[in-house]
């Protein structure tokens, strides 16, 4: 049995990762598209045999309510549009898979969760790393206590961003800069490895190119304290390439991944040697997992609440930068 997906937004991620991944999925099938660019309709219809009645644009999207051939809408639009299309999708009776970061604010996340709940639809966030075997091994190992109680995690992700005119550098469409886009992977790693929610954060920002990064953050470093006492030292940047990793240090051992957050080529090391598993298509795994949740009527492990918790931590980080003070993370 299969679950039919419609992709909402046919940009780089949909084109280069998600649609190809949907050729490998067992339970998820690419059945529809929603695009604001009319020229893409025929290209996608031809390439993926999409039926004309399963093609929508942003204006007539709500008519998808009458289409029983679509079960899930996968929102792959700029961050600032996630809330609108998640709410419209849920109101149209569709389950929603939404790309990360879930939305521009925790208030928006709460609206999205409420809309899905009201319509009795499932909501998941595109946290592909949570399905990746190296990440799963690291969580299992840390939480098994193999290396004793955990003391610290170092995590960071950044890259040198190109085109100065892209939506990722615009506050309304991106909701923030490096932190929202890729710092969220480091934050996720800390939460995923420990299974804990940060209590408080301290954060600072540096900007070497204030013109390019007029609206969003360029480089942020932050620390987070977990309830158990684990300290997390994190960083993110849009200014340079290279940081793409986490390391976790326990009383009697350590492990880490570098690169940790890429689509492929994930590599790990531990006190006991290399961490090696097959590379998988993380998007295929993520979509099959959501399809199974729908088929088996279970909540996703990467639920809307999971997305909300990241936004609450991100808001505390931005607040700490503003105030210069240690800032409590609000509870979900
Ligand atoms: P992109 O710029 O390549 O695509 C965005 C799409 O949205 C384009 O098709 C564009 O036409 C459309 N769009 C509609 N209204 C727009 C507007 N006002 N301004 C700009 N574009 C508009 O971006 P992308 O890299 O595909 O990212 C899309 C989403 O996926 C983002 O939320 C991003 O954070 C997320 N993403 C996730 C991963 C991951 O590994 N999970 C990787 C990349 C991107």
Predicted confidence (pLDDT) per residue in 269-322, tens digit:
999 999 999 999 999 999 999 999 999 999 999 999 999 999 999 999 999 999
ipTM over 0.90: yes
Q: Residue 9: which H helix or E strand, with range?
A: none
Same domain, 41 and 87: yes
120 Cα to the center of ligand 1, angstroms = 27
Structure tokens belonging to residue 311: 């936004």
Q: Could you report the per-residue pLDDT of 43-83, keeping only the tens digit for each?
A: 999 999 999 999 999 999 999 999 999 999 999 999 999 99
**Whose alpha carbon is nearest atom 2 of ligand 1?**
11
97 Cα to the center of ligand 1, angstroms = 14
Same domain, 41 and 146: no
Region 127-146: mean pLDDT is: 98
Q: Could you report the per-residue pLDDT of 157-201, keeping only the tens digit for each?
A: 999 999 999 999 999 999 999 999 999 999 999 999 999 999 999
Q: Model confidence at 325, in pLDDT bands (50, 70, 90)?
A: very high
User: pLDDT value at position 293?
Assistant: 98
Nearest to residue 80, comparing CAs of 179, 188, 176, 183?
A: 176
- The answer to whether the CB of 225 falls within 8 A of the CB of 200 is yes
8 Cα to the center of ligand 1, angstroms = 10
User: pLDDT value at position 156?
Assistant: 99
What range defines the domain where residue 251 resides?
A: 133-278
User: pLDDT value at position 287?
Assistant: 99
What is the domain count for the chain? 2
Q: Is 15 in the pocket of ligand 1 (CB under 6 A)?
A: no
Nearest to residue 118, comparing CAs of 87, 76, 149?
A: 87
List CB contacts of 228: < 8 A, sequence separation 6 or more.
149, 150, 194, 196
Query: What does each C-alpha distance from 108 to 33, 80, 167, 295 come to in angstroms?
Result: 24, 10, 19, 27
**59 within some domain:** yes
Q: What is the CATH number of the domain that holds 120?
A: 3.40.50.720
Q: Could you report the per-residue pLDDT of 217-251, keeping only the tens digit for each?
A: 999 999 999 999 999 999 999 999 999 999 999 99
The whole-chain average pLDDT of the chain stands at 98
Same domain, 167 and 195: yes
**327 within some domain:** no
Same domain, 114 and 85: yes
100 carries an active-site annotation: yes
- The answer to whether the CB of 90 falls within 8 A of the CB of 67 is no
47 carries an active-site annotation: no
């Amino acid at each position: 049995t299969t679950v039919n997906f419609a992709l909402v937004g046919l940009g780089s991620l949909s084109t280069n990762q998600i649609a190809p991944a949907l050729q490998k999925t067992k339970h998820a099938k690419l059945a529809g598209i929603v695009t604001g660019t009319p020229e893409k309709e025929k290209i996608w219809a031809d390439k993926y045999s999409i039926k004309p009645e399963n093609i929508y644009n942003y204006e007539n999207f709500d008519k998808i309510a009458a289409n029983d051939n679509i079960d899930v809408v996968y929102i792959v639009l700029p961050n600032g549009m996630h809330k609108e299309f998640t709410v419209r999708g849920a109101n149209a009776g569709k389950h929603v898979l939404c790309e990360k970061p879930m939305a521009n604010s925790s208030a928006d996340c709460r609206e999205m969760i409420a809309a899905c709940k009201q319509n009795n639809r499932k909501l998941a966030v595109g946290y592909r790393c949570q399905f990746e075997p190296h990440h799963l091994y690291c969580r299992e190992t840390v939480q098994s206590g193999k290396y004793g109680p955990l003391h610290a995690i170092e995590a960071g992700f950044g890259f040198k961003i190109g085109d100065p005119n892209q939506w990722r550098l615009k506050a309304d469409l991106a909701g923030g800069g490096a932190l929202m886009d890729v710092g969220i992977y480091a934050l996720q790693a800390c939460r995923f490895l420990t299974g804990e929610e940060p209590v408080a954060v301290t954060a600072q920002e540096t900007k070497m190119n204030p013109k390019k990064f007029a609206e969003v953050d360029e480089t942020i470093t932050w620390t987070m304290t977990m309830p158990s006492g684990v300290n997390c030292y994190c960083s993110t940047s849009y200014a340079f390439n290279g940081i793409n990793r986490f390391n976790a240090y326990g009383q009697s051992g350590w492990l880490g991944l570098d690169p940790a957050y890429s689509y492929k080529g994930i590599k790990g090391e531990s006190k006991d040697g290399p961490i090696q598993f097959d590379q998988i298509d993380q998007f295929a795994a993520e979509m099959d997992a959501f399809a199974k949740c729908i088929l088996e009527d279970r909540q996703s492990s990467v639920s809307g609440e999971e997305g909300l918790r990241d936004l609450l931590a991100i808001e505390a980080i931005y607040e700490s930068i503003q105030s210069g003070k240690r800032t409590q993370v609000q509870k979900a």
